Structure 1
Amino acid sequence: MTKMGTGKTAGQQPMGGISRRSVLQGLGAGAVAAIAGKAGFVDHARAAESLNYMCWEGYNTPAILDPFQKANDVAVSVDLITDSAGGFAKLAAGAYRDFDLVSSDSPWIARMGPAGICRYIEDADFTEQYAEFYPQFRAPFAPLQHEGKATGLPTRWGWVGPTVNTKFDKLETWSSYAPVFDAAYRDKICLLDWGDWPIMPLALYAGVNPYEELDQAALDEVRKVLRAAFKNTRAVVADLSIAQKGLIDGSFRALIGGGTYATSSLRLAGHDYIQSIVPEPRNGLKQGIIWMEATGLLDNGKNSKLPVDFLKYIVSPEVAVKLAITEATSNLVPNQKAEALFTEEQKTALQMDYMWTAWDNSQFHTVAPNIDDMLAIWQEELSAR
Structure 2
Amino acid sequence: MRISRRTFLQGSSAAASLAVAAPVLLGGPRRALAARDKELNILCWEGYNTDDVLGPFRDAHEGITVRAESGTSDPDMINKLRAGEVNVWDLINLNQPWARQQLLPEGLIKPLNKERFMPYFAKMAPEFADPAYPLAFAANGDLIGMPQRYGPFSFVVNTDKISREMAEDQGWKLFLDPKLKDRYGVLTYDNWNLIHMCLTGDLNPFKPLDEKGFATFTDIAKQIFAGSKLLTDDLVR
Q: Which category of TM-score, normalised to the shorter sequence, fits these structures? A: 0.5 to 0.7
**2:133 is matched with which residue?**
141
130, 145, 156: which is aligned to 1:152?
A: 145
Residue 116, structure 1, aligned to residue 107, structure 2: yes
Q: Which runs of 5+ in 1 are unaligned?
A: 1-15, 18-46, 213-218, 240-260, 262-327, 329-385
Distance across 2 between alignment mates of 1:169 and 1:76: 38
Is the Cα–Cα contact under 8 Å of residues 191 and 198 in structure 1 kept in the other structure?
Answer: no
Residue 54, structure 1, aligned to residue 43, structure 2: yes
68, 76, 95: which is aligned to 2:66?
A: 76
> In the superposition, relative to structure 1, how do residues 187 and 95 fare at CA in structure 2: closer, same or farther (>3 Å)?
same
Taking every aligned residue pair, what percent have the same amino acid on both sides? Answer: 21
**2:123 is matched with which residue?**
132
Distance across 2 between alignment mates of 1:105 and 1:144: 11
Alpha-carbon shift at residue 220 of structure 1 (Å): 10
> In the superposition, relative to structure 1, how do residues 71 and 193 fare at CA in structure 2: closer, same or farther (>3 Å)?
same
Alpha-carbon shift at residue 96 of structure 1 (Å): 1.5
Over the aligned positions, Cα root-mean-square deviation in angstroms equals 4.3
53, 57, 77: which is aligned to 1:64?
A: 53
79, 83, 87: which is aligned to 2:77?
A: 87
Is the Cα–Cα contact under 8 Å of residues 44 and 71 in structure 2 kept in the other structure?
Answer: yes
> In the superposition, relative to structure 1, how do residues 186 and 119 fare at CA in structure 2: closer, same or farther (>3 Å)?
same
Distance across 2 between alignment mates of 1:108 and 1:170: 32
User: Moved runs in structure 1, 4+ residues, more than 6 A?
Assistant: 162-166, 219-223
Describe the superposition over 1:79-132 as per-residue Cα deviations: whole angstroms up to 9, x where unpaired.
332222111111133321332111122233333222222221244422432121
Residue 187, structure 1, aligned to residue 182, structure 2: no
One-letter code aligned to 1:158: G
Alpha-carbon shift at residue 152 of structure 1 (Å): 0.7
Is the Cα–Cα contact under 8 Å of residues 140 and 150 in structure 1 kept in the other structure?
Answer: no
Distance across 2 between alignment mates of 1:159 and 1:77: 28
**1:103 is matched with which residue?**
93
One-letter code aligned to 2:123: E
Alpha-carbon shift at residue 206 of structure 1 (Å): 10
Distance across 2 between alignment mates of 1:195 and 1:86: 13
Q: Which runs of 5+ in 2 are unaligned?
A: 1-23, 26-35, 158-162, 209-213
Distance across 2 between alignment mates of 1:169 and 1:60: 29
Describe the superposition over 1:29-64 as per-residue Cα deviations: whole angstroms up to 9, x where unpaired.
xxxxxxxxxxxxxxxxxx971122211222122243
Is the Cα–Cα contact under 8 Å of residues 186 and 225 in structure 2 kept in the other structure?
Answer: no
Local SS of the residue matching 2:48: coil
Distance across 1 between alignment mates of 2:175 and 2:37: 57
Describe the superposition over 1:238-266 as per-residue Cα deviations: whole angstroms up to 9, x where unpaired.
79xxxxxxxxxxxxxxxxxxxxx9xxxxx
When the two structures are superposed, what TM-score results if normalisation uses the length of structure 2? 0.56
Residue 227, structure 1, aligned to residue 229, structure 2: no
Distance across 2 between alignment mates of 1:104 and 1:89: 12
Distance across 2 between alignment mates of 1:227 and 1:149: 42
Local SS of the residue matching 2:148: strand
Distance across 2 between alignment mates of 1:238 and 1:56: 20
One-letter code aligned to 2:54: L
Local SS of the residue matching 1:54: strand
Distance across 2 between alignment mates of 1:224 and 1:92: 38
Distance across 2 between alignment mates of 1:66 and 1:179: 39
> In the superposition, relative to structure 1, how do residues 102 and 169 fare at CA in structure 2: closer, same or farther (>3 Å)?
closer
Distance across 2 between alignment mates of 1:85 and 1:150: 22
Alpha-carbon shift at residue 236 of structure 1 (Å): 4.2
One-letter code aligned to 2:108: I
> In the superposition, relative to structure 1, how do residues 192 and 157 fare at CA in structure 2: closer, same or farther (>3 Å)?
farther
Q: Which has the higher strand share?
A: 1
One-letter code aligned to 2:111: Y
When the two structures are superposed, what TM-score results if normalisation uses the length of structure 1? 0.37
